[in-house]
Amino acid sequence: MSLRSPYPDVEIPDVSLTEFLFADGFGDRADAPAIVDGTTGDQLTYTEFHGLVEKIAGGLAARGIGTGDVVALFAPNLPQWAALFHGILRANGIVTSANSMYTGGELAHQLKDSGAKMVITVSPFLDRAVAGAKEAGLSEDVVLTIDATEGHDSLRDLVGSGAPAPELTTTATDTAVLPYSSGTTGLAKGVVLTHRNLVANLLQIQAMGDVTSETKIMAFLPFFHIYGMTVMMNQGLHARATVVTMPKFDLEQFLTITQDLQVDRLYIAPPVAVALAKHPIIDKFDLSCVKTVFSGAAPLDGELGRAVAKRLDCTVLQGYGMTELSPVSHCMPDDRGDLDLNSSGFALPNIECKLVDPESGEEVGVGERGELWVKGPNVMVGYLNNSEATDATKDADGFLHTGDIAVVDDEGVYSIVDRVKELIKYKGYQVPPAELEALLLTHDKIADTAVIGVKDADGEEVPKAFVVKQASDEDLTEDDVMSFVAEKVAPHKKVRVVEFIDQIPKSASGKILRKDLRARENER
Ligand code: AYL
């Protein structure tokens, strides 16, 4: 039983994202704010934004960035992030968006793997950016900053060249972005998303929501993650809406900006729903401007979602997606705030799904649990230079095997009920267990290890390491293990629980039996 979206297909034009967003001009939105830094009030109108994009493209071309060249963005959410993103695409290049919390070492992996030729950052991140660039074999000269910093060229230098933007030769099937995701297994991999993938997902999302030129979108979730990139930044630009950025999440500042700039649409991950539902500070603000709160990136608790809807007197919606899906495959449409908030709504237009029993490989029916498989124009081409991982994730018929277990009801509403892949999500951010395991194994007192996600006291998923000591009398504490990891990884990847164990359960072929570890947790 293959399940098609209940919505009519949308037509996807055969154009690059650049043409899709900018070819038709901005009409009466030309002088309206496209993107506003909520913390400073600095803003770019649509005309200014587009002008900056063209200048950046000219500057990049003058520095030798052209067709198929990869440029890394390693910066927090700023209006300039969006302009650089589109400037790189306008120069016929490819963006690889790096997690701005990455250590130099983590960044180096992405720079090397993606073949990035240039890194654009901000001065507070310069140390990590330079360390990463050097480790990846790049010269310090190709590390540019958005703000001015001594010793490095800045955005001002880039646009100051006055060079014209080159001819746009990019086509719909060219690669646009390389965000990194660990997918169902292993280390972070470059996800090859084409211009067509991104254009398709924008049109699929548009069919579900009421984002218009009147909308003010709050964008504190990072643009480097596909949720911020597609759903906040590019959806906002496409609708000629106003995107309000925050470089860093701070609850009080977020509420102040929302109230003062009259933001009406909030995109969040579930941890922010906890604050919106429970934090006393919320009552100090007039949030009557907020019409819609949309949650994605990790499971939202339905009761919590309803508490937010009640407290803010707004519509709360949930969506489901994955970096490999550009990212949204399922969501609730704006007019269905009545749906069970434990669910993730309907399949978007142009999407076909299957639910498959992971054990038997048989498709299951309405009301039965199965792995969600998704096919559609938003499905990635594959993982960069990794056909093995691509083949393990995307089958010959084009279905992406998500590694998430879902149930569908007879109306076509999907609920994500479990995750069978290795991936851990901490506050909506990816934590690849394989990476932490490899790191832990470099500790000379650790003989073996396995990392899984467990629920903490607040019901949030956190990474837990099971550790086998080299010798049972080894003086190694839980804190030793946690600080060893914390020094080397971005904060969201920290191991937050440690348990010493005699042996890691493994299959005959040596694969960690994560299921057994999860069962052991559930027995507690
Ligand atoms: P990635 N419920 C349960 N799990 C979810 C949900 C959800 N609503 N959304 C995402 N996940 C988990 O690539 C799931 O395990 O996300 C999925 O495979 O960092 C994994 O997160 C994907 O992790 C939107 C817009 C979701 C964006 C997103 C997040 C996409 C990127 C919904 O509307």
pLDDT tens across 411-420, in order?
999 999 999 9
Residue 162 Cα to ligand 1 middle (Å): 41
- The neighbouring-strand residues paired with 407 are 415
Among 97, 101, 294, 425, name the best residue to mutate to test ligand 1's pocket (greatest count of ligand atoms within 8 A of Cβ): 425
The atom of ligand 1 lying closest to the CA of 294 is: 33
**What CA–CA distance (Å, rounded) separates 92 from 340?**
43
- Residue 17: is its pLDDT beyond 90? yes
Among 225, 322, 340, 421, name the best residue to mutate to test ligand 1's pocket (greatest count of ligand atoms within 8 A of Cβ): 322
Measured by CA distance, the residue closest to atom 2 of ligand 1 is 299
The atom of ligand 1 lying closest to the CA of 429 is: 19
Handedness of CA 396, 402, 406, 412 (dihedral sign): negative
- Starting at the earlier edge strand, list the strands of the sheet with 446-455: 446-455, 461-469, 497-500
Quote the percentage of the chain above a pLDDT of 90: 96
- Residue 409: is its pLDDT beyond 80? yes
Residue 186 Cα to ligand 1 middle (Å): 18
First CA to last CA across the chain, in angstroms? Answer: 38
Both tokens of 147, joined, read 């703000």
pLDDT tens across 344-382, in order?
999 999 999 999 999 999 999 999 999 999 999 999 999
pLDDT tens across 460-470, in order?
899 999 999 99
Question: What per-residue confidence (pLDDT) applies to 36?
Answer: 98
Task: Determine if ligand 1 sits within 6 Å of the CB of residue 209.
Answer: no
pTM over 0.95, yes/no? yes
* Bond preceding residue 327 cis, omega within 30 of 0: yes
What is the residue-averaged pLDDT of the chain?
A: 96
Measured by CA distance, the residue closest to atom 1 of ligand 1 is 322
Both tokens of 116, joined, read 């990035």
DSSP string, 13-57: -S--HHHHHHTT--GGGTTSEEEEETTT--EEEHHHHHHHHHHHH
Question: What per-residue confidence (pLDDT) applies to 459?
Answer: 84
**What CA–CA distance (Å, rounded) separates 129 from 485?**
20
What is the mean predicted confidence (pLDDT) over 171-179? 98
Task: Determine if ligand 1 sits within 6 Å of the CB of residue 296.
Answer: yes
Contact 265, 294 (CB under 8 A): yes
Task: Determine if ligand 1 sits within 6 Å of the CB of residue 321.
Answer: yes
**What CA–CA distance (Å, rounded) separates 88 from 58?**
10
DSSP string, 239-281: HT-EEEE-SS--HHHHHHHHHHTT--EEEE-HHHHHHHHH-GG
- Residue 30: is its pLDDT beyond 90? yes
Measured by CA distance, the residue closest to atom 27 of ligand 1 is 227
Q: What ipTM describes this predicted complex?
A: 0.99
SS3 label, residue 144:
strand
